[in-house]
Amino acid sequence: MTTFTVKTKNDTMVNIEVSEVEISNFINDEIKKLQDKLDSLKVMDFNAAGQLAVNSFKNKLNKLEQDDKLADSYSYDELKSRASGASFTGYLAELGIEKSLHGSATRALALGKAALAGLKIAKIDDPTVMRTVAENAIGGKNSLWRDSVIEWLLHSEADAE
């Protein structure tokens, strides 16, 4: 049996006794939780994994905003200025990309924007790295919209600076 002394938020000192069996069970349970999480991530399809990545970036941006640190890395207004809405759809239409492909291109754009936002937060602005990250984030290697989405992302990124 091992005794640990912890201090609560109210500055109360509490002694907690833990046996070796309890410690071992705790570690095994934590390992199982991590393995279950890893297994669930491994079987995700591309869109689900992309959405998870976008949500992760969104949470990081919200945390930076909450801590008043977002302006140091990338202003929220600049992120919003790279909107995909009607202008992106119009861009695709001008290029002759079928309307049935616009949804896929817009989802790819969202993934690419999140990836580029992560690079901006990390203060990485190397054009080659940005292009590679954008290409990897959007996927769709054989898609008709791929080059258009990459150019939109990189052109919008340059305009935001």
Instruction: Tell whether the model's pLDDT for residue 40 goes beyond 90.
Output: no
Rg, Å, the chain Cα set: 22
* DSSP symbol at 100: G
Compute how many other C-beta atoms are within 10 angstroms of the C-beta atom of residue 107: 20
Could you tell me what percent of the chain has a pLDDT over 70? 85
Contacts of 64 (CB under 8 A, 6+ apart): 70, 72, 73, 121
The reported pLDDT for the residue numbered 125 is 83
- Do 104 and 47 form a contact (C-beta atoms < 8 A)? no
Each residue of 101-125: pLDDT tens digit?
888 998 999 899 888 888 888 888 8
Each residue of 63-77: pLDDT tens digit?
777 777 666 555 445
End-to-end Cα distance, the chain = 59
* DSSP symbol at 43: T
* DSSP symbol at 96: T
- Do 92 and 143 form a contact (C-beta atoms < 8 A)? no
Instruction: Tell whether the model's pLDDT for residue 78 goes beyond 60.
Output: no
- Name the helix (H) or strand (E) containing 118: helix 102-121
**Per-domain residue ranges of the chain:** 2-42, 46-160
The reported pLDDT for the residue numbered 48 is 77
Instruction: Tell whether the model's pLDDT for residue 82 goes beyond 50.
Output: no
Give CA–CA dist 31/75, Å, rounded.
39
